[in-house]
Structure formats: structure tokens, C-alpha cells
Chains A and B, each alone.
Chain A
Amino acid sequence: MDGIHDLGGKEGFGKVDVNEPEEAFHAEWEARMLGIVRSMTRPDDWSLDWFRHCREMMDPSDYLTRPYYDQWMQTYSSMMVNSGVASVEEIATGRSKTAPDPAADPINAQDVAKSMNVVGTYDRPYEKAPAYAIGDRVRTARHGHKGHTRLPAYARDCIGTIHCYRGAHILPDTSSAKSEELAQPLYTVVFEAKELWGEDSPDGDRIYIDLWESYLEKP
């Protein structure tokens, strides 16, 4: 979707706060929110891409102005309401209107130590050969679509070169839209800065973007 989240190349956002203190969290509630996300029981069909899409669906002014973990709070809340796990009223008051599930068994502190080292992987078996080889020139899609996608707007309808093949990874466009995984070849594609931003860009500067096969075509 052409949402506010697709920020690459947008202008007018000012300087980066390079003097931010280095500690992990700047407020206790930020740490609690990350802890909640890592610990909470959730429906099996919440994918990472569904989460990202739900965050993208926030009001654009909220997306640009609300603190990062506050956006997580509202995004997970929206997912809970959507999946029937809680109501807006329950989330607003912090009080449950129903008894807990008798089978409820959330992860405990000992489980955290174990799950900390679990490696999530997103590549999947794929029968066919990838369509492109290293060094091939490719053109990116000219148009996006209304759903979640990972081709940034700034790199649409541009010519790049296949830098490497990363294996077949879960396609975000489908895993954000239904409860199933579709594996598709993933490439890192390299673009000259001049191709993306014009002739004033320095010679030799390049941008590397991970792109799925269906975002690409032969030029």
C-alpha cells in the first residue's frame, strides 16, 4: 500500500537525533511493551507480516508522531480486537469482562531463557529454480497494490542488478493477507544511486534492496 510507512527518499523530516542516550530503553513502559510482545499468548495465525501491515494501517499522523513502542501497543491491540481476543473497552480499562481460558498457559520466566535462543527462519523449500542469476539486470514493478508489500515506492520501475540469491523466503504480500505461507525466491538487488535519485548522486554509491521474484521483470 502507498502508506505513510513507506518513507524511503521522502524529504523534509529534518536532522537525525545523534545525541540520543545509548541505554536500551528511555522509559519503563517501553521495556514493558517489548516484554509483553515477547511473552504474550497469541493466535497461531498472527504472522510478522500481518503485524507490519496492521501497523501501516494506523492513522498517518499517529504513525509519524506517536512513540515507537506506543505504536506497538496500539497495533497489537488492534490485532487482539480483530481476532476477538479482547474488546476495545477491555483494553482501555485494563479489566477483563470474561473469565480466563481454563487451558491458558502463558510462557513463564524459565521458558524465556529457553526461547531466547530459538532461531526463527523465513526461508522455505522451493521446487523450481530461481528465474534470475547473479549479474542479471532486472526492472522492478511499476505499480504496487493495496495490501502489504516490501518493494519500497522509491525503487519502483527502476533498473537494478541481481547481487545475490537468498533462497526462497515467505512472501510478505500473501502472509500478511491470509493465514498461509508462500515461498518465493528472494534476491538482494543493487541499484546505482543515480538510477534511484538522479544524476546529482555520487558515482559509485549504491543501494541494496531485498526483493522477491514477483517484484521483478526482465528489463
Chain B
Amino acid sequence: MTEHNSEKIAHIHEDLHSHLPSEPALRVKALESLLIEKKMVDPAAIDAWVEAYSEEIGPKRGAQLIARAWTDPAFRELLLTDAPKAVAEFGFEGWATGHTVVLENTATTHNLVVCTLCSCYPITLLGVPPNWYKTAAYRSRAVREPRSVLAEFGVTLSPDIEVRVWDSTSEMRYMVMPERPAGTESWSADQLAAIVTRNAMIGTQRDLPLAVKEPA
């Protein structure tokens, strides 16, 4: 049985710090070799996860949910009131999707998601988080000065738009639904999904440009 002793863990960290190889790549390689020798991991399973997170599990999933909600009022209602059920309709269930909440941007509100205490993120819908999401700069500032963080991302909010910052301190997983851009009334869900970005679903982008993805 695991002994949950903080002091002991701190001591082990010191020991590891002094004895592990000097480069992260070498440290991870040694760990993988050890786990294979101990038959605690199958390298083909690691390959399968890497492939999944490089291809299938990414922001295209979240974008499909948003695009469907923009084009289907019943689905929009479901996504905003019972997101886990909406996620299941697309077969996107996975790690932590059981507590998904979708936050709607409007003309007068802007949502921004952060995890100040660690790195909680809707990984199954948006893929692995960007490194900046996990940095001290983003985590410290997003709750205190969200408007200046947004400005760095090129988002300037007028004072009449209220900012709502969501600090992901539990297993609830927050994803932002950006506003549908004007001029896309005739677009299909597939065309719309192509313009929804990862940052827009975190809240560090507000307006979605249409220039690149004109409908055929």
C-alpha cells in the first residue's frame, strides 16, 4: 500500500534530482527501458498513445462540436446544458470528458480558461495543451490581469465586454464556444469547423478570421 507521506516524497525528489541523467530525453529513455524490463509497460502501447495524441485526439474534435452547435439549435442547447451527452454523440468520450462544461461567448461576455494550480485542460476534446497554458506566466496572470494576457494574444476587448475567467481547480473541464462569425450563414458545419481554433476554445482568441477558408 502506498504511504502518502509528503516529507518522504520531497526527500525522494532530492535523491532523483542528484542521480538521474542530465538531459530530459535521457531520463525518459531510461525510465521507458526500466518499465519495459519490469514488464510494466508495452512499448507498442506507448506508440499507440503517441499516435492518438498526434492525430486523432486534437482540437479538430472541439471544433466539430462548436460547428455543429452553430448549425443545429437543438445540439447547441445540449452542448451548453449537458456537454458530456453532446460529446458522446460524436463518440469523443475519454479522459475527463464526463465533467465537460461549454462556456458561450456573447457580444458582451468573453470567457477564458486557466488552471492556476496545475494544468487541468480538456485534453480529450482539444488535444494536449500548448506549453504556454502550463507556464507560470499564463497561470499567474490569467486570473489577475486577463485583459493584458489577451492583448498579448492580439485580443483587445472594449471595456463593455465582461471577462469571465474559469480557474479549473476541480475535474470539471471547461471549453469556450466562440461567437459564429458574421458572413458564414451559408456555410456547412464542415466549413465552419475548419475555422474554429484551439486558442478560441481556450479563450485566448475571440474573433475567427474567414479569409483562409472561403467556402467553395
List residues of chain A with CB under 8 Å of any chain B CB: 1, 5-11, 13-18, 20, 22, 24-29, 31-36, 38-43, 45-46, 48, 50, 52-55, 57-59, 62, 64, 66-70, 73-74, 76-79, 81-83, 85-86, 88-96, 98, 100-101, 104-109, 111-113, 116-123, 146-147, 150-152, 154, 166, 169-170, 172, 176-179, 186, 188, 193, 196-197, 202, 204-212
- Bound-complex Cα distance A93 to B139 (A): 35
- Bound-complex Cα distance A204 to B162 (A): 5
List residues of chain B with CB under 8 Å of any chain A CB: 1-6, 8-10, 12-17, 19-21, 24-25, 27-35, 37-42, 44-50, 52-54, 57-58, 84, 91, 93-99, 114, 116-119, 127-128, 130-132, 134-141, 143-144, 146-147, 149, 152-154, 159, 162-172, 198, 204
Residues of chain A within 8 A (CB-CB) of B21 are 92
Minimal beta-carbon separation of A150 from chain B (angstroms): 4
Q: Smallest CB-CB separation from B88: which chain A residue? A: A119
A-B contact count (CB 8 A): 338
Residues of chain A within 8 A (CB-CB) of B147 are 202, 205
A95 and B33 within 8 A (CB): yes
Across the A-B interface, the 3 shortest Cβ-Cβ residue pairs? A8-B116, A94-B30, A35-B46
Residues of chain A within 8 A (CB-CB) of B96 are 120
Known contacts A20-B130, A64-B136, A109-B48, then 20 further A-B pairs from the complex at CB < 8 Å, ordered by chain A residue: A8-B139, A15-B137, A29-B29, A31-B53, A53-B9, A55-B118, A57-B6, A57-B10, A58-B13, A74-B16, A91-B30, A94-B30, A100-B38, A109-B44, A117-B93, A118-B94, A119-B84, A152-B117, A179-B1, A197-B144
B135 and A16 within 8 A (CB): yes
Minimal beta-carbon separation of B22 from chain A (angstroms): 11
- Bound-complex Cα distance A92 to B159 (A): 54
- CB-CB under 8 A for A1 and B132, given A36-B32, A92-B21: no
